[in-house]
Amino acid sequence: MNTVQPYVPGKRQPAHMPKGKISRWTELKIWWREIDRVLLLLVLLLMGLGTIAVAAASPASADRLSTSSQTLDPLYFFYRHLAWQMLAIATMLGISMLGRENARRFGLLLAAGMTGLLFLVPVIGAEINGARRWINLGMQFQPSEFLKPGFAIATAWILSWRMRDPNMPVAGIATAYVGLIAALMMMQPDFGGTILFAGVWFVAMILAGIDVKRLGAVIGAAVAGLTATYFLYDNARHRIDSFIGGGTAYDQVDLGARTLTAGGWLGAGYGLGIRKMSLPEAHTDYIFSVIGEEFGLIACALIVLLYLAIVGRVLMRLIDEEDLFALLAGAGLTALLGGQAFINILVNLQLFPSKGMTLPLVSYGGSSTIAVCLTVGLLLAVTRRNPFLKSRTKGLGDRLGFGQMAPMQEKSGSARREIHP
């Protein structure tokens, strides 16, 4: 009887392949076999719908940003969005071809580099709309946007150390890291981004099996921090007050909600929206409202279903994942996408204070579009799997109590797997 050798998903030369150099075409075939093609299709479909939405929102933003000396083309943002999307898709596919170990290394380097740049933002960063979040290094971008996927990878890597040594203080290290990031983010200030980082940390800590009592203490400290933010952060206080009691200076959330429902169930039709012309950032923060006005609430429901399908698909992929790092990284990256979409949609529905947060894979963006697609590329990389191998354990299922806890291996190459009969 032949012995089946351990297999590492996405590794350059699988054990079952003959030794020697593998051609590029063979690598592409291995990638196509291992990649989650359903997830990739859902992401591309959402990006396609986003392109249509940006085309609908572009005239509103172009009109608002036009001046007496310069009139922007109504489809100015649409044309730019197409160019950025092509670059972003290439980035996503390129990152998805990395093996799991290389994806981990890339994520750690990204986390280290962007954390370093966060220290420089208060010093050399550019200030836009009252916030200092951007750095210009030949291209203006927010280090925090690229830090998000790196942070998810780094947190997953830190927490996976406990598989080597259960006595390692991984919870304290991960908590200290997210505390550092939160402090740097609030210096910009970026309250919405801070919430996202904290959400990724919380999901990873829960799935890593960290003691709930410890989490309770940290959550209590976080609540105290949020309370302090309300009194110390004027912009946050104004937006929260406006959200609770209504206001005039910060009423963009109310305007977005009225625009969202203006089109009814089927919408006014492409290019026929009127309320969108008064929306601030119609092509970014409030693009969901533009979709509602021009394409209807049914189209908005379709967008929400696509996000739910993406999250559900990843959870299905992780349900029997044996590699603790892959489980935590996949869940963290998904929490980033789902959490940002959730907050943006709630803001447009007037159910959450305005956060200045785009709708991932849908909103217009330059470097932010590349950052989101980089996140998806890392998600596709860490969830790569040989379809001919069957797991004997339930990774996420065990973590959520769906089955009897089975020992999890740190590396998928050493995980217990068997060939389908």
| pLDDT bracket for residue 393 (50, 70, 90) | low
Q: Are strands 417-419 and 126-128 parallel, antiparallel or unpaired?
A: unpaired
Cβ-proximal residues to 212 (8 Å cutoff; 6+ apart), any chain: none
β-bridge partners, 323:
409
Alpha-carbon distances, residue 85 vs 44, 205, 218, 280 (angstroms)? 10, 33, 39, 22
Q: Between vectors from CA 334 to CA 127 and to CA 372, what angle results, nearest 5°?
A: 40
Tell me the percentage of the chain whose pLDDT exceeds 70: 77
Model confidence over 149-159: pLDDT tens digits?
999 999 999 99
Model confidence over 267-313: pLDDT tens digits?
898 988 888 888 888 888 899 999 999 999 999 999 999 999 999 99
Residue 361 φ then ψ, to 5°? 75, -5
Res 215: pLDDT: 66
* Alpha carbons 80 and 365: distance in angstroms, whole number: 9
* Alpha carbons 305 and 308: distance in angstroms, whole number: 5
* Alpha carbons 74 and 274: distance in angstroms, whole number: 14
Cβ atoms of residues 305 and 42 within 8 Å: no
Give the count of beta carbons closer than 10 Å to the beta carbon of residue 286. 31
Model confidence over 230-276: pLDDT tens digits?
666 666 666 666 556 554 444 677 788 888 888 889 989 898 888 88
* Alpha carbons 149 and 154: distance in angstroms, whole number: 9
Cβ-proximal residues to 29 (8 Å cutoff; 6+ apart), any chain: none
Model confidence over 345-368: pLDDT tens digits?
998 888 877 777 899 999 998 888
Strands across the sheet with 140-141, in order? 126-128, 131-136, 140-141
Cβ atoms of residues 159 and 200 within 8 Å: no
Helix H or strand E segment including 229: helix 212-232
Q: Between vectors from CA 281 to CA 276 and to CA 285, what angle results, nearest 5°?
A: 100
Delimit the domains of the chain by residue range: 35-65+72-385
Asked whether the bond before 407 is cis by omega within 30 degrees of 0, the reply is no
Residue 320 φ then ψ, to 5°? -125, 25
